[in-house]
């Protein structure tokens, strides 16, 4: 638990002769570089094309050396481009997405932590069955749940509100967060809990004093997973909001929708990058903890 991981101490490449070592290392780095090209290519293309003039893209294709670079399309994409019914660029859709993703992430994470704690440390009849039921939620296809959700939201009067959308994402996210947290907490030694109970600690105290302090890695995994999933989600965001409340994924789809008029690839590329920044930043900053949290048994 915690920081203790058994690292492999054996370095396979340090066995064998010097020449064998160098060739092996070269091969490894070469492979890594080749793969990196495959992974980075789309990002590079996006970046490049967000700064090229449109005629150049239309004539020369997407994979070409740009003749000039300019950031004007970024400003256009953020604040002035006419898309999805307004002429304010994607800034307001960005805000809408924030207003939707942040609360849903926080609530589903908190609930997931509590649920995971209960299902891993407090054995009672039917606990495993309940866990199975909750986990099933991970597998339901979104298209199937759209109309039932419409009924539900309509009957509680939350249709076409951001609150309703937060509710939908929270409940759908509960399956993932509970799954992750419960598997992670399984690794906390039961003896710790038993000892605390003998000392007279109750349900909430054990949670606060023992479980929560050990949680940061899984909290980060859960937050990353949820935020990314909710932020990048299109269908529910579009159907359960209206007018200028739409999330940023709606605006992105609007860029690629067919209609009369020229498709502004460069503004689209800039908008796409802006839309991808929050999850991207979270992954880059939290990547280390993501791996660590997954290491410590998030997925079993």
> Which residues within the stretch 185-224 sit at the binding site for another protein (CB under 8 A)?
202-203
| CB of 75 vs another protein, minimal distance in Å | 18
- From the list 162, 165, 272, 274, which residue makes contact with another protein (rule: CB under 8 A)? 272
- From the list 5, 55, 191, 199, which residue makes contact with another protein (rule: CB under 8 A)? 5
| CB of 83 vs another protein, minimal distance in Å | 5
- From the list 70, 80, 95, 242, which residue makes contact with another protein (rule: CB under 8 A)? 242
- From the list 3, 7, 68, 199, which residue makes contact with another protein (rule: CB under 8 A)? 7
Residues 49 and 64: their CA atoms lie apart, in Å, by 9
Rg (CA), the chain: 24
Residues 258 and 33: their CA atoms lie apart, in Å, by 37
Closest residue by Cα to residue 214 from 279, 281, 106, 120 = 120
Q: What are the Cα distances from residue 18, in Å, to 10, 26, 83, 215, 250?
A: 17, 12, 60, 44, 56
Closest residue by Cα to residue 228 from 181, 286, 179, 271 = 286
Of 159 and 222, which has the nearer Cβ to another protein?
Answer: 159
| CB of 55 vs another protein, minimal distance in Å | 11
Per the listing, tokens 């004007």 go with: 72
Asked if 34 touches another protein (CB under 8 A), the answer is no
Of 109 and 250, which has the nearer Cβ to another protein?
Answer: 250
Asked if 13 touches another protein (CB under 8 A), the answer is yes
Residue 274 CB coordination number (10 Å): 20
- Interhelix angle 127-136/91-121, rounded to 10 degrees, is 160
| CB of 246 vs another protein, minimal distance in Å | 8
Asked if 22 touches another protein (CB under 8 A), the answer is no
Of 33 and 213, which has the nearer Cβ to another protein?
Answer: 33
Of 53 and 279, which has the nearer Cβ to another protein?
Answer: 279
Tokens standing for residue 113: 């932590």
> Which residues within the stretch 94-123 sit at the binding site for another protein (CB under 8 A)?
111, 114-115, 118-119, 122
Residues 215 and 224: their CA atoms lie apart, in Å, by 14
- From the list 18, 19, 42, 200, which residue makes contact with another protein (rule: CB under 8 A)? 42
Stretch that binds another protein, among 7-15, 70-78, 189-197, 208-216 (CB under 8 A): 7-15
Q: What are the Cα distances from residue 133, in Å, to 120, 130, 141, 171, 178?
A: 15, 5, 16, 13, 11
Stretch that binds another protein, among 66-74, 76-84, 99-107, 191-199 (CB under 8 A): 76-84
Asked if 249 touches another protein (CB under 8 A), the answer is yes
Asked if 69 touches another protein (CB under 8 A), the answer is no
> Which residues within the stretch 112-171 sit at the binding site for another protein (CB under 8 A)?
114-115, 118-119, 122, 124, 130, 132-134, 136-155, 159-160, 171
Of 32 and 68, which has the nearer Cβ to another protein?
Answer: 32
Q: What are the Cα distances from residue 211, in Å, to 105, 190, 290, 293, 297?
A: 20, 11, 19, 14, 15
Of 99 and 276, which has the nearer Cβ to another protein?
Answer: 276
Residues 130 and 114: their CA atoms lie apart, in Å, by 14
Contacts of 59 (CB under 8 A, 6+ apart): none
Tokens standing for residue 237: 């965001």
Count residues binding another protein (CB under 8 A): 120
């Amino acid at each position: 638990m915690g920081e203790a991981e058994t690292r492999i101490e054996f370095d396979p490449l340090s066995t064998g002769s010097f020449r064998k070592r160098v060739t092996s290392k070269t091969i490894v780095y070469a492979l890594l570089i080749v793969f990196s090209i495959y992974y980075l290519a789309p990002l590079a293309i996006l970046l490049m094309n967000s700064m090229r003039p449109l005629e150049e893209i239309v004539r020369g294709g997407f994979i070409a050396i740009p003749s000039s670079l300019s950031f004007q399309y970024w400003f256009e994409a953020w604040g002035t481009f006419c898309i999805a019914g307004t002429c304010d660029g994607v800034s307001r859709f960005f805000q809408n997405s924030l207003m939707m993703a942040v609360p849903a992430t926080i609530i589903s994470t908190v609930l997931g932590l509590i649920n995971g704690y209960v299902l891993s440390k407090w054995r009672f009849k039917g606990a495993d069955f309940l866990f199975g039921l909750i986990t099933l939620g991970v597998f339901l296809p979104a298209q199937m749940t759209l109309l039932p959700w419409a009924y539900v939201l309509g009957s509680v009067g939350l249709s076409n509100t951001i609150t309703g959308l937060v509710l939908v994402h929270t409940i759908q996210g509960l399956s993932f967060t509970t799954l992750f947290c419960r598997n992670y907490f399984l690794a906390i030694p039961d003896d710790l809990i038993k000892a605390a109970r003998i000392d007279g600690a109750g349900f909430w105290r054990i949670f606060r004093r023992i479980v929560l302090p050990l949680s940061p890695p899984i909290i980060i995994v859960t937050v990353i997973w949820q935020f990314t999933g909710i932020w990048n989600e299109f269908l529910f965001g579009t159907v359960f909001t209206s007018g200028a409340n739409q999330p940023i994924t709606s605006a992105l789809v609007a860029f690629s929708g067919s209609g009369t008029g020229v498709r502004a690839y460069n503004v689209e590329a800039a908008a796409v990058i802006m839309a991808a920044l929050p999850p991207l930043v979270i992954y880059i900053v939290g990547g280390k903890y993501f791996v660590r949290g997954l290491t410590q048994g998030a997925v079993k």
